[in-house]
Amino acid sequence: MSKQSKRREALVYHAKPTPGKIKVVPTKKYASQRDLSLAYSPGVAEPCLEIAKDKNNVYKYTTKGNLVAVISNGTAVLGLGNIGPEASKPVMEGKGLLFKIFADIDVFDIEVDTENIEEFIETVKNIAPTFGGINLEDIKAPEAFEIERRLKEELDIPVMHDDQHGTAIISAAALINALELAEKNIEDVKIVISGAGAAAISCSRLYQSCGANLENMVMLDSKGVIRKDRENLTKEKAEFATHRKIDTLEEAMKDADVFIGLSTSNIVTPEMLKSMAKDPIVFAMANPDPEIAYDLAIATRDDIIMATGRSDHPNQVNNVLGFPFIFRGALDVRATKINEEMKMAAVLALARLAKESVPEQVNIAYGETHLTFGKEYIIPKPFDPRLIGEVPPAVAKAAMESGVAQESIDDWDKYKESLLERLGADNKIVRLLVNRAKLNPKRVVFAEADQLDVLKAAQIVYDEGIAHPILLGRRDEIEKLKEEIEFDADVPIIDPKSDEELERKNKYAEVYWQQRKRRGVTLYSSQKIMRERNYFAAMMVNTGDADALISGYSRSYPSVVKPMLELIGLAKGASRVATTNLMMTQRGPMFLSDTSINIDPSSKDLAKIAQMTSKVVKMFGMEPVMAMVSYANFGSSTNERASKVREAVSYLHRYYPDMIVDGELQTDFALNSEMLQDIFPFSKLAGRKVNTLIFPNLDSANITYKLLKELNKADSIGPIMMGMRKPVHILQLDASVDEIVNMTAIAVIDAQQKEKWELENQSTK
C-alpha cells in the first residue's frame, strides 16, 4: 500500500462510521420506567447516600474501580512533539481502546488545555474522585516529572506516567532478555541513550535498578551529549551527565553494547551501527518512526538484536505491553500507588513469559509459524492471551507484599481465571482467521467484482495479503470502480462476456458439456451458460484456475447455491451441504447450524450437520461443545420432532463417542451450564460451556440467527458453507465489506485445508 493510501486509510478509519474510536455503553437495564427510576431519580439517591456515609462505597456502587483517566496536555505526543491537547485526542482515545481490549479497563480520555504545571496538577486532582487510576500520557519532560511526583504524593489512587514507567518496564524486560541472548552482563554493558525526556530518564533509572552501571551510560538530548560540564541542566539530566569528553552521538556509539532510542526519527546511521560492539542491542523506540528503520538496521549488521516501538516488525518494545496489565493488577487490589516493587514484578513477568513456549494462537495471530525465544522474539507480543493471566497477578501480588494494596486476593487461580474471562473472544477470532489465511493466501475469484463493496473487500484482502483476488465481472465497470477507490494493484480482471475470454469460455464449456452430454446438454447451450458469471467462476475453481470462489452479494442465496451444487458437487464422504453461522454474542462466540440450506433434516442429516460443524469450530481454534437443541429435554416429549434430535444424538454417541455433543435439549439448559449440571448431571455437556447449537430445522436456526443479529446486534461470520467439494462460499444478499473480507478469509482457510487433505490422501495412496 502506498504512503498516501495508508494515510487515507488511517483518516477514514478514524472518521467512519462515527468519528473517533470509543463510546460509552450502559451496563444496566434501561428499558422500562422502573429501570429508569432505579438508574436515575429517585433510586439513584440510595447509593449516593451510602457513598456520602462512607466514601469507600463509591467502589461498590459506581464504575470508579474499573475506570482510568488517560490524561494529556498534548506537549509530547508520540514523537510528534507539542501538537496541543486537541491533536493529542486520537492517541488518548487509542490508549482507551487498548486499555479496554487488553485488560477490560474503561477509560475516559481527558485533554487538558494548559502547559502550566500547577494548573495541570490542580485539574487532575479535582477530577480524581471519578477514577480508580490516572494514566498520564504524552506530557513533555521535565514538567512530566514534577506533575507525576506531586500527583503520586497527593492522590490516593494509582498514578502512572505511562511514557516513563510503561516504557521503562517493557524495555527493561526486553533488555534483560536481549542481554541473555548476547551473553553480556548488564553491569558491564556500555549503554547509549538518545533522548533525555520523560521516557529516556525513567528507562535509564529502571535499568540501573536492574543492575546497569551509571558510569557506563551516555545520554544525549537535542543538543548532544549530556556532559558534566554542560550548563543549565535539569536535575534529571544532571543525574545522567557523563565525565567522558565526547559531544556527538557518533562518538558515543563507538564500541557501545546497547543503544536506547527515545528521541526522534532517523538520527542513527548505518555507520554508527557498524561502530558498535559485537552483538549490539538496538532499541529504536521513537514513534511513529524509529531512530533508525528496522530494515536498514538489520541489513547493516547481522549480529544485531533490534527492536522498535512499531507493530509491523519483530520485537515491538512499546508500552502497550505494560499499561493495560499494570493498571489491571493495581485496580484489582485497589492499590494506592504503582511502586517500584510492582514495576519490577511486571518486568520479571514479561521477561519470563517471552521464554516460555508460545501458544499456537499467538503464532497464528501474527502470521508466524514458530515464534521462539531468540533475536526476533525477545518480548511477548501484545496479542498474547497469556499476558493478562501473568502480568496483573504479578503486579497485584507485589502491591500486596509491599503494603500498598487495600484489598487482597486469596485464590490466585480463581483470579487468573477471572482475568482470562475478561477478554472477549470476538476480535481474537477474526484476527485468528485473518492471520491463518495470510499464512498461505490463495487465489480467490470474486464473481461480483463489479459491485463496489465486493471490490472494496477485494482491495482489503489484497492489501492485507489474505488472498490473491481475481476480479470477475464487467471489465469497464471494474476498471471504473477501481479508479474510484484507488485500487491500483495489478490484479487479474476477467469478463466472462467479453471476446477476450472466448478461448477459456470454450474450454470450460467443453468440460461442462463432456460431463453432461448424456443429460440433454448440448455444446451450444454449454457455451451459452458459461456467459453466466457464477457458472464461469465455478468452472474456474473446478478446473484449478482459481482456488476458491466468493459470490452471492447481489442474488438470493438459493439461486446461487443451486448452480454451485450442480457444478462443484459434494465433498467426498458428504451426503449434503449445510451452513453454519458464527455469532459473536455477549456470552462469547457461538456456532449455529444449519442456518441456510436444509429445511427439515432427518436424524442422519442432523448428525452429519453436527459433524461438519464440529470441523469448522476446530478450524477457528476452538474445541466444539455442541448441544442438539429442541423444544424438549432428554425424552420429555415422544413427539417425532423431539425423537428425531434424540436419534441424531444417539447415532453420534455410538459412532463418534469422542464428540462432546448431547441433546435433545432446550436452549436455556444448553446455554446454562449450572442449570444443566443441577438437573441433568448425566449429560455430556454438564459443567461445560456450550459453543455450538445444532437446530432441528431451518426455521428455528435461521430465525434464531437473524433474531440475534437484529435484536442483540451480534456480529455474524457466515453462513459458512460445509460439505462442498471445492471452497465455494456464498454471501448473504448485501453483505457488508467486513463480512465479505471475513468470508474471503474463510474461503482461503477452506482452500488451505482441502489442499492439505488432498496431499495427505495422495501420500497414503
Ligand X SMILES: NC(=O)C1=CN([C@@H]2O[C@H](COP(=O)(O)OP(=O)(O)OC[C@H]3O[C@@H](n4cnc5c(N)ncnc54)[C@H](OP(=O)(O)O)[C@@H]3O)[C@@H](O)[C@H]2O)C=CC1
| Eight-state DSSP code of residue 304 | -
With the C-alpha atoms ordered 93, 97, 102, 104, is the resulting torsion angle positive or negative? positive
Under rule CB under 5 A, residue 148 binds Mg ion: no
Q: Cβ distance 325 to 393 under 8 Å?
A: no
Residue 163 C-beta: closest distance to ligand CC(=O)C(=O)O, Å: 5
Interface region with ligand X, contact rule CB under 6 A, candidates 317-325, 340-348, 568-576, 669-677: 317-325
Q: What is d(CA 416, CA 412) in angstroms, rounded to the nearest whole number?
A: 6
Contacts (CB under 5 A) with Mg ion, residues 383-412:
none
Under rule CB under 6 A, residue 177 binds ligand X: no
With the C-alpha atoms ordered 103, 105, 111, 112, is the resulting torsion angle positive or negative? negative
Neighbours of 463 (CB within 10 A): 14
What residues form DSSP beta bridges with 208?
none
Indicate the residue type of 429. Answer: I
Residue 193 C-beta: closest distance to ligand X, Å: 9
CA atoms lying within 13 Å on the CB side of residue 18: 3
Q: Cβ distance 495 to 501 under 8 Å?
A: yes
Q: Mask 49-88, x = binds ligand X (CB under 6 A)?
A: ---------------------------x-xx---------
Interface region with Mg ion, contact rule CB under 5 A, candidates 122-130, 157-165, 241-249, 433-441: 157-165
Residue 196 C-beta: closest distance to ligand X, Å: 4
Q: Which three cell numbers stand for residue 702?
A: 435461521
E-strand stretches of 40-139: 67-72, 106-111, 133-136
Q: Respond yes or no: is residue 274 known to be catalytic.
A: no
222 binds, among ligand CC(=O)C(=O)O, ligand X, Mg ion, none (CB under 5 to 8 A by kind): ligand X
Using DSSP's 3-state secondary structure scheme, residue 588 falls into strand
Q: Which three cell numbers stand for residue 219?
A: 545520554
Work out which of 135, 164, 319, 630 binds ligand CC(=O)C(=O)O, going by CB under 6 A.
Answer: 319
Under rule CB under 6 A, residue 540 binds ligand X: no
Indicate the residue type of 246. Answer: I
Pick the catalytic residue from 21, 64, 89, 95.
95
267 binds, among ligand X, Mg ion, ligand CC(=O)C(=O)O, none (CB under 5 to 8 A by kind): ligand X
Under rule CB under 6 A, residue 309 binds ligand CC(=O)C(=O)O: yes
Neighbouring residues of 233: CB distance < 8 A, sequence distance ≥ 6: 226, 241
- Residue number with the shortest CB distance to ligand X? 197
Residue 221 C-beta: closest distance to ligand X, Å: 3
Give me the residue label for grid cell 510492582.
Answer: 342
Work out which of 93, 111, 138, 221 binds Mg ion, going by CB under 5 A.
Answer: 138
Residue 375 C-beta: closest distance to ligand CC(=O)C(=O)O, Å: 23
Under rule CB under 6 A, residue 380 binds ligand CC(=O)C(=O)O: no
Q: What is d(CA 172, CA 321) in angstroms, rounded to the nearest whole number?
A: 12
Pick the catalytic residue from 30, 40, 61, 655.
40
E-strand stretches of 723-764: 728-730
Contacts (CB under 6 A) with ligand CC(=O)C(=O)O, residues 125-184:
138, 162-163
Interface region with Mg ion, contact rule CB under 5 A, candidates 131-139, 270-278, 374-382, 599-607: 131-139
Using DSSP's 3-state secondary structure scheme, residue 254 falls into coil
Using DSSP's 3-state secondary structure scheme, residue 568 falls into helix
Q: What is d(CA 628, CA 624) in angstroms, rounded to the nearest whole number?
A: 12
| Eight-state DSSP code of residue 316 | B
Residue 149 C-beta: closest distance to ligand X, Å: 15
Under rule CB under 6 A, residue 596 binds ligand CC(=O)C(=O)O: no
Q: Cβ distance 263 to 220 under 8 Å?
A: yes
Work out which of 85, 280, 309, 329 binds ligand X, going by CB under 6 A.
Answer: 309
Q: Respond yes or no: is residue 95 known to be catalytic.
A: yes
Residues that bind ligand CC(=O)C(=O)O (CB under 6 A): 78, 138, 162-163, 287, 309, 318-319
Residues that bind ligand X (CB under 6 A): 76, 78-79, 140-141, 163, 167, 194-200, 220-223, 262-264, 267, 285-287, 309, 317-319
User: Catalytic amino acids?
Assistant: 40, 95
